Chains A and B, each alone.
Chain A
Amino acid sequence: MLATRVFRLVGNRALSTSICLRGGHGVAKVEDYTLPAYFDRRESPLPDIKFVQQLSPEQKSLKEKEKGSWAALSKEEKIALYRISFKESFAEMNKGTGEWKSVVAGIFFFIGFTGLVVLWQRKYVYGDVPHTFDPEYKQKEVQRMLDMRINPVEGFSAKWDYENNAWKK
C-alpha cells in the first residue's frame, strides 16, 4: 500500500494501477496435504472426511435411502453405507501384519553372516595365541595353583585329592 502511494506522487499511473490490482498477491495453489485427509486410526475413530468422495449412482441412491428409516435398510446396504464412509473396519486396521517374521528372519540371517565373518577373521586376521596357552604350560599352571592351595574350602583345590594325587571322584 505504501508503495502505491509513493508512485502516485511520482505520477507513474500505469505502474501504480498494476501494483494496486496485485495488492492481494493472488491466491496460492491449494496443496493436497493441506486439505482434510482420510486415515484409519484406532485412537481417532472418526476421520475428517468420508472415504469415498465421488459417489457412483447406486451409492447416491443408497444415500438418499439412508435419509429415510434405517430399519428399511438391508444388511448389505448397511455394510455398503459403512464402506462409503470408512475404508477399513477396526478389526481390519488393527490386525497384525506378520512383519515380525521378516524381522526375526533378518536377525538370524545377520547373526549367521556375522558368524562367517568371525570364522574368516580367525583364519586370516588373528596371529598365534601366546605360548601360555600350550597344554604343557597349562598343566604347569594347574599344578602351581594346586601347590598354592587356591580356594581349598569350596573351590579349586577342594576338588583335588592330595593323598592320591588325583581329582576327587
Chain B
Amino acid sequence: MSLAKPAMRGLLAKRLRFHLPIAFGLSLVAAAAFKFTVTEPRKQAYADFYKHYDSTKEFNAMREAGVFESVRPTRK
C-alpha cells in the first residue's frame, strides 16, 4: 500500500506548459499557410491583372455593351 501521492497542485500550469507552445506553433503554421496559399497568389493575380490594363479600352467596351446610364453607346 505504498502508492506515490498524486500531483495535487499546478495541474493547470502543467497543462498550459505543454499545450501553449503547441497552440502558438499551430496558429503560426495556420497563418503562414493561409498567407502563402491565399494572400500571396491573390496579390500576384491583382498585380498581373493591372500590369497591362487599359482602362479606356475597357470603358469603351462596357459603354458599347450598354451598361452605363451616364453615357449611351456611340451612335453608328
A interface with B by C-beta (< 8 Å): 144, 147-149, 152-154, 158, 162
The answer to whether A162 and B61 touch across the interface, beta carbons within 8 angstroms, is: yes
The answer to whether B66 and A147 touch across the interface, beta carbons within 8 angstroms, is: yes
**Known contacts A149-B58, A162-B61: A144-B45 contact under CB 8 Å:** no
The answer to whether B45 and A148 touch across the interface, beta carbons within 8 angstroms, is: no
The answer to whether A147 and B62 touch across the interface, beta carbons within 8 angstroms, is: yes
Q: Which residues of A contact B3 (CB under 8 A)?
A: none
Per-residue CB proximity of B5-46 to A under 8 Å, as 1/0? 000000000000000000000000000000000000010011
A144 to B66 CA separation, bound complex (whole angstroms): 9
Q: Which residues of B contact A144 (CB under 8 A)?
A: 67
B interface with A by C-beta (< 8 Å): 42, 45-46, 49, 58, 61-62, 65-67
Q: Which residues of B contact A152 (CB under 8 A)?
A: 49
The answer to whether B49 and A153 touch across the interface, beta carbons within 8 angstroms, is: yes
The answer to whether B67 and A148 touch across the interface, beta carbons within 8 angstroms, is: yes
Residue on A with the closest CB to B66? A147
Q: Which residues of B contact A153 (CB under 8 A)?
A: 45-46, 49
A-B pairs, top 6 by smallest CB distance, nearest first, are A147-B65, A153-B49, A148-B67, A147-B67, A154-B45, A153-B46
Q: Which residues of B contact A158 (CB under 8 A)?
A: 49
A144 to B61 CA separation, bound complex (whole angstroms): 12
Residue on B with the closest CB to A144? B67
Q: Which residues of A contact B46 (CB under 8 A)?
A: 153
Residue on A with the closest CB to B63? A147
B42 contacts which of A148, A149, A154 (Cβ < 8 Å)? A154
